[in-house]
């Protein structure tokens, strides 16, 4: 498929897909005229990239991890393993924070509700 279809399938803008390629996160096969072509596999990969972005990882970090997903090997696994564990920890901490924040929000909401009914 071409880039437009990948974009609509993943919900990611064409611009972003090109950016991912520029950052080394996403590969494409070029037709003789220079147009990018992708396989169905890439749909999954793009959503995975999006997920990592949502987890707060930067392009650089994602670029460092992806090779390990693609082809786990001695060279990359050692360094990447550590990095993944690190990011996993950061993510866990972040989730904990967010849960706490949600509790705070809930308390705020409950407070507002109480106030409203009292009046």
Contact positions toward DNA, by CB under 7 A? 2-5, 7, 12-16, 18-20, 23, 28, 31-36, 50, 53, 58-60
In this chain, which stretch among 3-11, 15-23, 30-38, 64-72 interacts with a copy of itself, using CB under 8 A?
64-72
> Residue 77, interface with a copy of itself (CB under 8 A)?
yes
Q: Of all helices (H) and strands (E), which one includes residue 37? A: strand 36-37
Length of the chain: 119
* Contact by Cβ (8 Å): 1, 7: no
> Residue 39, interface with a copy of itself (CB under 8 A)?
no
- CA gap 17, 36 in Å, rounded: 10
Residue 98, contacted partner among a copy of itself, DNA, none, CB below 5-8 A by kind = a copy of itself
Which residue in the set 48, 49, 59, 75 belongs to the binding site for a copy of itself (CB under 8 A)?
A: 48
- CA gap 62, 64 in Å, rounded: 5
């Amino acid at each position: 498929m071409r880039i437009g279809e990948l974009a609509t399938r993943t919900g990611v803008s064409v611009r972003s897909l090109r950016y991912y390629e520029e950052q080394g996160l996403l590969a494409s096969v070029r037709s003789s005229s220079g147009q990018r072509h992708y396989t169905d596999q890439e749909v999954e990969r793009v959503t995975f990239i999006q997920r990592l972005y949502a987890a707060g990882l930067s392009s650089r970090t994602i670029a460092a991890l992806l090779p390990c997903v693609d082809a786990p090997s001695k060279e990359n696994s050692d360094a990447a393993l550590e990095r993944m564990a690190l990011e996993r920890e950061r993510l866990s901490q972040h989730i904990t924070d967010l849960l706490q924040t949600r509790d705070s929000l809930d308390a705020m909401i409950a407070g507002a509700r109480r106030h409203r009914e009292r009046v």
